[in-house]
């Protein structure tokens, strides 16, 4: 028994050079930086890492580099999603050989399959995988894994957890209530950054969150505060994180906003393999200006020399403050202290 997978596991980006090739030295430096800043584990070949934009051989190379550089300091949960069972099992064998703790396998994508087909897919993998498997439920991109199917799959020893990126708090609570009584070693991880603290409060073991690749210190602090039951402090950070997360997620095609933010933390990420139009390149420069201001709020980077514009959230906060002060002044005028 290796124990439950817990904590903040980073689905990290992959730096590329000017020719679009994996920049190994920068990837190794990024791995060290994430570990030094407190993440509990690494998650290569996740959605944030743009796994579909790499060849199978490149995906193996990414996991090899990460496992080697990690050198057992933290567990590696390697994304092993391929297009079919045979290729997925080949990836499982390779990643087991590199020393990964477990693999994360997304539910079948492209074809929208029903529960029986989803169960059959994971059942076949679980019977033949040489490494522990975590399910990856991401309904926006792949066949959903419903609760009855998860319960059936949790009966298989090789399946040790689930990463759920639905953001559905009630669904997480139902999974934990249904499975934890008979699988104490089963891990529940959330992939939706904006509800990390609430997910931890209802019993999730951790998160595989894209934002932890940008502000690992902050995500680790949120995890630690929640574990210490300092929920008010944790939620204060959660609310602040939402603005940064939304800016990275909504201001550019995913995950371009996260790549731009990682660059602001001092890494040469290079251009994504997804081409950008001239308009998108201009928008990306504007996005980096906004992200620099947001990261400066947390003290992680210096603010731009020209200063930061007032953001919508700042205006809303000021408006609330004005209303509160107005109400208090009215009460004072009426003799109510």
207-258: pLDDT as tens digits: 999 999 999 999 999 999 999 999 999 999 999 999 999 999 887 888 889 9
pLDDT of residue 320: 41
- Given a contact cutoff of 8 angstroms between Cβ atoms, the answer to whether 88 and 82 are in contact is yes
Side-chain-side CA neighbours of 288 within 13 Å: the count stands at 14
Does residue 4 register a pLDDT over 60?
yes
Beta bridge pairs of residue 78:
103
- Contacts with 12 (C-beta within 8 Å, 6 or more apart), sequence order: 30, 31, 34, 42, 43, 44, 46, 48, 49, 213
Average pLDDT over residues 66-94: 96
> Quick one: which of 232, 233, 203 has its CA closest to 218?
233
Does residue 321 register a pLDDT over 80?
no
pLDDT of residue 282: 62
Between CA 249 and CA 291 the distance in angstroms is 11
- Given a contact cutoff of 8 angstroms between Cβ atoms, the answer to whether 209 and 193 are in contact is yes
Alpha carbon 123 to its chain centroid, in Å, reads 26
pLDDT of residue 131: 98
Q: Which helix (H) or strand (E) holds 176?
A: helix 169-179
Burial of 134 (0-12, 13-18, 19+ CB in 10 A): buried
> Quick one: which of 108, 49, 109 has its CA closest to 79?
49
pLDDT of residue 112: 85
Q: Residues of the chain with pLDDT > 90: what percent?
A: 74
pLDDT of residue 55: 95
pTM equals: 0.88
pLDDT of residue 316: 45
Does residue 319 register a pLDDT over 60?
no
Confidence of residue 324 (pLDDT cuts 50, 70, 90): very low
Whole-number Cα distances in Å, 139 to 1, 114, 199, 204, 222: 30, 12, 18, 19, 26
Confidence of residue 283 (pLDDT cuts 50, 70, 90): confident
- Given a contact cutoff of 8 angstroms between Cβ atoms, the answer to whether 81 and 136 are in contact is yes
50-71: pLDDT as tens digits: 999 999 999 999 999 999 999 9
Radius of gyration of the chain (CA): 21
Whole-number Cα distances in Å, 317 to 188, 232, 294, 311, 322: 35, 19, 15, 10, 9
Burial of 29 (0-12, 13-18, 19+ CB in 10 A): middle
Q: Which of 7-11, 108-112, 130-134 has the lowest mean pLDDT?
A: 108-112
pLDDT of residue 332: 62
pLDDT of residue 323: 43
Indicate the DSSP class of residue 84. S
């Amino acid at each position: 028994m290796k124990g439950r997978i817990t904590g903040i596991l980073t689905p990290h980006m992959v730096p590329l050079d000017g020719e679009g090739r994996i920049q190994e030295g920068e990837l190794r430096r990024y791995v060290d930086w994430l570990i030094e800043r407190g993440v509990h584990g690494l998650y290569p070949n996740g959605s944030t890492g743009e796994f579909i934009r790499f060849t199978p051989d490149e995906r193996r190379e990414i996991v090899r580099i990460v496992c080697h550089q990690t050198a057992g300091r933290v567990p590696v949960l390697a994304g092993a999603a391929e297009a079919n069972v045979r290729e997925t099992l080949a990836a499982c064998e390779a990643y087991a050989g590199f020393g990964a703790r477990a693999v994360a396998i997304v539910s079948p994508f492209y074809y929208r399959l029903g529960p029986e087909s989803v169960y059959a897919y994971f059942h076949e993998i679980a019977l033949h995988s040489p490494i522990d498997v975590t399910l990856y439920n991401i309904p926006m991109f792949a066949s959903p894994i419903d609760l009855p199917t998860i319960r059936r799959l949790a009966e298989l020893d090789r399946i040790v957890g689930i990463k759920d990126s639905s953001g559905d708090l009630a669904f997480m609570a139902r999974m934990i209530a249904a499975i934890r009584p008979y699988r104490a070693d089963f891990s529940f991880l959330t992939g939706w950054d904006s509800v990390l603290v609430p997910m931890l409060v209802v019993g999730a073991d951790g998160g595989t969150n894209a934002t932890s690749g940008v502000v690992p210190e902050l995500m680790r602090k949120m995890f630690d505060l929640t574990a210490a039951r300092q929920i008010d402090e944790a939620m204060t950070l959660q609310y602040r994180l939402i603005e940064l997360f939304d800016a990275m997620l909504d201001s550019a095609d995913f995950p371009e906003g996260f790549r731009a933010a990682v660059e602001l933390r001092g890494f040469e990420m290079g251009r994504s393999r997804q081409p950008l139009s001239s308009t998108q390149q201009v928008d990306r420069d504007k996005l980096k200006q906004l992200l620099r201001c947001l990261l400066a709020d947390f003290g992680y980077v210096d603010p731009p020399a020209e200063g930061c514009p007032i953001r919508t959230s700042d205006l809303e906060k000021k408006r609330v403050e004005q209303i509160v002060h107005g109400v208090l002044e009215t009460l004072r005028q009426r003799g109510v202290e």
